[in-house]
Amino acid sequence: MPTPLVVTEESRRSRVATALLLVALAEGALAAVAGTASGVGWQRLADLLVVTNILIGVALALSGWPIAHQQPRNPVGWYLLSAGVAWASTGAGAATLAWAVSQGQQDAAMVRVLATVVNLGGWGWALSTLVPLALLSFPDGRLLGRGWRAFVGIAVANGLLVTVAGVLDPRGGLAGDVGVSPSLRWLDPQPSAGLLAVWTAGVIGGYAGALAALVLRYRKGGDVVRRQVLWLLLAVLVVACTSTLEALLDTQSFVLGILPILLVPVSIAVAILRHELVDIRLVVSRSVLYVVLTGLVVAAYLGVVAILDQTVRGTPLGSSVLATVLVALAVNPVRVWLQGLVHRAFYGARDDPVRAFAAVGARLQEVGTDLGPGLEGVLEALCRALRLPAAAIVTDGRTVAARGSLPADRHAVTLPGVGELVVGVRSGDRRLGTDDERVLDLLAAPLTVAVQAERLADELRSSRERVVTGREEERRRIRRDLHDGLGPVLTGIVLNADTALRLLPTQPDRSAALLADLRTHAMRAIDEIRRVAYDLRPPVLDGMGVVGAIREYAAVLGRPEGGTELTVTVEAPEDGWPVLPAAVEVATYRIVTEALTNVVRHSSATAVTVRLEPDGPVLRLEVLDNGINAGPSWEPGVGLTSVRERTAELGGASELRYDRTGGQVRVTLPIGAAQTTPSGPFADQATS
């Protein structure tokens, strides 16, 4: 059994697009056949705008078909296709009417009906409705916003007006120009003239709205959208130049007046489907430069000739010669100035590293703060300054910041010690220019500093979060200890006290027993309070200082019950011992005790050396043993992990290492500008 053919929505739309294209081509063929058979001559057909309508209609259809075929959900292609069919229908209808007149059938009913259909204004709908809609929704098929729907209403109203004006034209419209009287016409020409004036104003308003939409898309759009708009701008620039030249020559040239218009729909198709075909910015920038320069040269020449003709008339050189000399001298400076303006508009500040550095430097100040977007803002400023499509900063194979989507052609700049700055090559180029590379190399150093600053800021934020989390966990632990430990004990004390007070007159012995239990519970509460206080800060630090407390702990640790005798040596300076911050004192004591406990539990060491050495703004401490781990390798457990965490909380550095010579714990803690005491520890060693 054959597999049924499944027709998707996209394939159905592609078929409809192909059918519309064939209709437009058939209209062109019909116009050619009917025009030739009419015998009126191609000049007469040109006067009737048959040639113009067919060429423009077929060009619109050929430009809209690939868009509708490849992107069937983009209405721009459908607008162009429909405009092509409508515009070509007017040319085919006029040619057919000319053939009917040549056959003497101008009064036939069917011919008059066809004349009415021709006057419906297919070209008018295309000109005043469909083409403006294509421009309003260019390039993605969506309007800029809901407010732009008003221009859609204006475009539709323009189509209705041109239909009414064409059907009721007292002159018979285009059919009347051919020589056929349509079925409907107004007898009074005044209303038709007023309606035509309203339609003209509406068309101007519709195209003004489309132009404003294109300008806004260019200003607010990304790199791709700007390139697409530039394709359309290039076509409009060519049309404007040829139209101006035609007006200056005071001629009606088919080559200058009609053919350039065909570039507009073609540019729309190229912009949507192949905008990366060439570097359109380079083409437009050079075109704008030479068009403006040519206009200035011509205007300057004519102006200088007019002035000199009044001032130096009759001189041997003559005004035209002097004007030529003056204009020639001014051309190059003006060209350089214009080229700089146009170049900055399309390529940014790549020829001016100072300007580029200033643009990016304004965003570099925001890195590491909460004042701006950070590195993303720096990359955005870089892309805007150099007109780059995208940029990203990559560290260890990971993208830490990005702006835009990187194309296939890329250029990487090394950021020493950080990673790479990867930028996208402009569409139409294969590589960046030398000026671009020079600017990027100049920005590499401050970008490196910015990435490091962002990294440090992230680490600082993470450290703050850990500190806050640790503080909240400590508060939770203290609350739990007070609630679960002291709470029941104190409650029992209160209950026993009440009971003993009631039994004292009648049962003194029972009351005495309760008071004894009360004393036991009170001692337990005191022990619990001492435990909580010790967990917050060991009391021995306040009584003996950090060095004395460590020596006291070492002395107790050095007398194990059984096992190998352990000798613990504490080395610290006698004089100039600084007054440490409370947090550093607690961390130092906890780190040393954790390290010594680790030696006792996991090492066969017989000697341990503890060194405490203040070194300017930091305190260096070492715990070195001569033992060998009991296991195959030294994998820090909870104790040594606590050493790392306590060191990191204070912004210090730790090194935990084990080799055949023993274990080594080295920690550096910042102590700031601590004051020093006149005397230090009183002893060097505590031996067991």
Put residue 172 in one of left, alpha, beta given phi > 0 → left and psi -120 to 50 → alpha: left
Residue 534: pLDDT band by 50, 70, 90 thresholds? low
Tell me the Cα Rg of the chain.
Answer: 45
CA 132 to chain centre: 30
- Is the pLDDT score of 96 beyond 80? yes
For the cut 80, the answer to whether the pLDDT of residue 187 exceeds it is no
- DSSP 8-state class, residue 277: S
Residue in the block written with tokens 């421009």: 135
- For residue 530, the model assigns a pLDDT of 67
Instruction: Between 26 and 7, name the one with better pLDDT.
Output: 26
Lowest average pLDDT, out of 324-333, 495-504, 636-645, goes to 324-333
The Cα-based distances of 546 to 266, 531, 543, 667 in angstroms read 84, 19, 9, 15
Instruction: List the structure tokens of 333.
Output: 């400076």
Cα separation of 10 and 70, whole Å?
9
pTM as predicted: 0.52
Q: Which of 68-72, 167-171, 320-324, 449-453 has the highest mean pLDDT?
A: 68-72
CATH 1.10.3470 fits 470-536, yes or no: no
Give me the pLDDT at residue 280, please: 66
Beta carbons of 684 and 585 less than 8 angstroms apart: no
List, in sequence order, every residue forming a beta bridge with 571; answer none if it has no partner: 611
pLDDT band, very low/low/confident/very high, at 255 (cuts 50, 70, 90): low
Grade residue 683 by pLDDT with cuts at 50, 70 and 90: very low
* Stretch among 139-143, 272-276, 321-325, 484-488 having the lowest mean pLDDT: 321-325
Residue 222, SS3 per DSSP? coil
Let me know the angle formed at the C-alpha of 85 by 83 and 90, rounded to the nearest 5 degrees: 95
- CA 582, distance to chain mean position in Å, is 47
Task: Give the span between the Cα atoms of 427 and 270, in whole angstroms.
Answer: 14
Handedness of CA 82, 83, 88, 91 (dihedral sign): positive
pLDDT the model gives residue 1: 45
Could you give the CA distance from residue 680 to residue 100 in angstroms, rounded to a whole number?
A: 122
Contact 642, 597 (CB under 8 A): no
| 207 or 305, which is more confident | 207
User: Quick one: average pLDDT of 572-595?
Assistant: 83
Q: Compute the Cα dihedral for 276, 282, 284, 285 and give only its sign.
A: positive
Closest CA to 26 of 52, 65, 61: 61
Say if residues 80 and 134 touch (Cβ distance below 8 Å). yes
Mean pLDDT of 224-252: 77
- DSSP SS3 for 392: strand
Q: Check pLDDT > 80 for residue 405.
A: no
Q: Pairing state of beta strands 653-659 and 662-670?
A: antiparallel
Q: Which of 322-336, 548-562, 592-606 bottoms out in mean pLDDT, i.e. has the lowest?
A: 322-336
Residue 569 has pLDDT above 50, yes or no: yes
More confident position, 211 or 385? 211
Q: pLDDT-derived band of residue 78, with 50, 70 and 90 as boundaries? A: very high
Winning range, highest mean pLDDT, from 137-151, 342-356, 357-371, 402-416 = 137-151
| Strand 618-625 versus strand 662-670 pairing type | antiparallel
Please give the angle made by the CA atoms of 508, 514 and 520, to the nearest 5 degrees. Answer: 140
Which of 295-304, 399-408, 416-425, 667-676 shows the lowest per-residue confidence on average (mean pLDDT)? 295-304
The topology under which CATH files domain 546-686 is: Heat Shock Protein 90 (3.30.565)
Mean model confidence pLDDT for the chain: 75
**Cβ proximity of 232 and 238 under 8 Å:** no
Most confident of the ranges 46-50, 86-90, 183-187, 281-285: 86-90
β partners of residue 668: 620, 653
The top-scoring range by mean pLDDT among 127-136, 301-310, 338-347 is: 127-136
pLDDT at position 250: 66
Give the burial class of 599: count Cβ atoms within 10 A of its Cβ; 0-12 exposed, 13-18 middle, 19 or more buried.
buried
Within 71-148, residue ranges assigned H as helices are 75-102, 109-118, 122-125, 131-136
In the predicted model, is pLDDT for residue 231 greater than 80?
yes
Grade residue 25 by pLDDT with cuts at 50, 70 and 90: very high
Per-residue pLDDT of 474-530, as tens digits, reads: 667 777 766 666 677 777 777 777 777 777 777 877 777 777 777 777 777 777 676
Domain boundaries along the sequence of the chain: 9-277, 288-347, 470-536, 546-686
The answer to whether residue 674 scores a pLDDT higher than 50 is: no
| Closest CA relative to residue 99, chosen from 171, 58, 44, 47 | 44
Those residues whose C-beta lies under 8 Å from the C-beta of residue 657, and which sit 6 or more positions away, are 663, 664, 666
Average pLDDT over residues 224-250: 77
Tell me the C-alpha distance between 91 and 110, whole Å.
18
Question: pLDDT at position 336, please?
Answer: 55
